[in-house]
């Protein structure tokens, strides 16, 4: 499927290497989910600055799903939990916005200041 990459300000994409490695894996997992499950005809990855945070959004126009149906203990959806753990391990927050028939939007907020690391 076509993939569009949008980067707002360069600062929104500058992180310490430990953060970058976690973000790459989260984006990779989200895009793998799009390919395997979404039935999407497009996807995008957007990096932008919102105040003192970077917002990374992975969105698609696929079939969507009901995130409330999957508990943190549901091992069949281990990838969603792993993405959340990766984001939280670097001080961020992961939100999944999806509805059946309406696509999926995975949003990651990461503080731009990472305590002296760059």
**Residue bearing tokens 């600062």:** 11
Answer whether residue 105 shows pLDDT above 90. yes
| Residue pLDDT, tens place only, 37-75 | 999 999 999 999 998 899 999 999 999 988 877 655 555
C-alpha span between 106 and 27 (Å, rounded): 9
Q: How high is the mean pLDDT of the chain?
A: 87
Answer whether residue 117 shows pLDDT above 60. no
**Residue bearing tokens 């996807």:** 43
| Residue pLDDT, tens place only, 28-39 | 999 999 999 999
C-alpha span between 59 and 10 (Å, rounded): 20
Predicted confidence at residue 80, as pLDDT, reads: 86
Pairing mode, if any, of strands 3-7 and 43-50?
Answer: parallel
Mean pLDDT confidence for 82-101? 94
pTM of the model: 0.86
Q: How confident is the model at residue 116 (pLDDT cuts 50, 70, 90)?
A: very low
Answer whether residue 15 shows pLDDT above 90. no
């Amino acid at each position: 499927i076509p993939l569009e990459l949008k980067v707002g300000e360069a600062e929104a994409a500058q992180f310490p290497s430990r953060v970058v490695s976690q973000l790459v894996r989260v984006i990779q997992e989200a895009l793998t989910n799009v390919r395997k499950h979404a039935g999407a005809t497009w996807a995008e990855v957007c990096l932008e600055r919102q105040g003192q945070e970077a917002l990374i959004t992975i969105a698609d126009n696929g079939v969507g799903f009901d995130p409330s149906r999957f508990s943190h203990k549901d091992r069949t959806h281990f990838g969603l939990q792993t993405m959340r753990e990766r984001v939280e391990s670097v001080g961020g927050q992961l939100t999944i916005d999806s509805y059946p028939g309406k696509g999926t939007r995975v949003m990651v907020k990461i503080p731009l200041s990472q305590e002296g690391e760059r």
